[in-house]
Structure 1
Amino acid sequence: MAEDGAPGTHDYRTVASRDIFDGRVVRLRVDTLTMPGGGTADREICGHDNAVAVVALDAENHITLVRQYRHAVGERLWELPAGLCDVDGEEPTETARRELVEETGLEADRWRPVIEVVPSPGFCTERVHVYLATGLREVGRPEAQHEEADMEVARMPFAEAVEAVLDGRIINGIAVAGILATRAVIERS
């Protein structure tokens, strides 16, 4: 057990917090924290709703992916169907069910938590719950708006998706973590 003052034992406390921006998707603030050895330091924090992502595998072991434009990086990226936990009182599994239908027109009979990911803990509060969805059936996709109207939906053999992660065709961090974690889960089963 570490002694008080040893690395890993400092109790970081927020002594001040200042809101900078409150937008539709993100909130920005500056927190002032106590530092080891005395003094304080400011940390810029991006507040972001938690999210879900879905590894949807069909009976033929194909994964359903979506490809959409991401303006921050200026690219169209292959991703897992995903969305924000932005409905009050909705459990993450229900959010995942809703997002899978909205983005792909699929429902699933079986849901299994795979992994939780904190994509950018140095500055962002977002936590992503990744689920494995199986027992898929087509139910139709509702009319999409905004970026989702331009979203491509495709199925790919799961082994190819793993290779696409490893060779750099799939670079979205949540998709990378979700696909590789699902491979580990499948191999353990």
Structure 2
Amino acid sequence: MENKLKRLDRTIAFEGEVVDLYKDKMQYPDGSIHNWDFVCHKKGYGACILPVLPDGRILLIRQFRPAVDDTILEIPAGGIEPGDESTLVCARRELVEETGYTSDEFSHLLRIQVAVAYCNEWLDIYLARNCEKAASGKQLDEGEDISNEVYEVGDLMKMISEGQIQDAKTVAAITAYAAGMGRE
């Protein structure tokens, strides 16, 4: 398919700690010119984990998210760091840091693009089976206040359908797992 939408210019409007905001000048197929916003995530990508306990229940975290001014139930996640060779290294670290659990059984579940209309960020979602408490416990970053909660998959699917879980990465991970993608 031929791309009929053309970027004519991109200028930076704001430089932040995590993201930069750009203004794009776009030419539509009819020749008209329009301004679009583009959010450039500085790291570009990260990892998330769907932690499954030995009994099959799912371990989620609850934390306050200032962007939506609410406490959100979600899967553990984090951005890639300079020493990470892969998103798997990031996933292993974030699982311990945010939940105090660890696993020796990681598998890649899926990759999602977070907001393709205006942002370049993508996430690898891993399944961590047979999660057990780590000897180190949680290792939260400064400013993090995270609690753990455990649920049955069926209960989580109901919570998604009722709008109680709306975080995109969490919805994607749970529904992919429930659909059988995480089963061997």
Scaled by the length of structure 1, the TM-score of the pair is: 0.85
Matched, 1:110 2:140: no
- d(CA) in 2 for partners of 1:11 and 1:36? 5
What is aligned with 2:140? 144
What is aligned with 2:28? 35
- Consecutive unaligned residues of structure 2, counting only runs of 5 or more, are none
Spell out structure 1 runs of 4+ moving beyond 6 A. none
Paired residues of 2:84 and 2:90 also in contact (CA < 8 A): no
Map 1:148-187; keep pairs closer than 5 Å. 148=144, 150-185=145-180
What is aligned with 2:52? 57
What is aligned with 1:120? 115
Paired residues of 1:10 and 1:36 also in contact (CA < 8 A): no
What is aligned with 2:124? 129
Identity percentage over the alignment?
Answer: 26
Matched AA of 2:49 = V
- d(CA) in 2 for partners of 1:13 and 1:86? 33
- Consecutive unaligned residues of structure 1, counting only runs of 5 or more, are 1-7
Matched AA of 1:23 = G
Shift of the 188–103 alpha-carbon distance from structure 1 to 2, 3 Å rule, reads closer
What is aligned with 2:17? 24
Query: Partner of 1:69: helix, strand, or coil?
Result: strand
Matched AA of 2:53 = D
- d(CA) in 2 for partners of 1:63 and 1:85? 24
TM-superposed deviation, 1:14: 3.0
Paired residues of 1:50 and 1:127 also in contact (CA < 8 A): yes
Cα RMSD after superposing both structures: 2.0
Shift of the 18–57 alpha-carbon distance from structure 1 to 2, 3 Å rule, reads same
Matched AA of 1:52 = A
Instruction: Choose between structure 1 and 2: higher helix proportion.
Output: 1
Query: Partner of 1:185: helix, strand, or coil?
Result: coil
Paired residues of 1:68 and 1:147 also in contact (CA < 8 A): no
Scaled by the length of structure 2, the TM-score of the pair is: 0.87
TM-superposed deviation, 1:132: 0.7
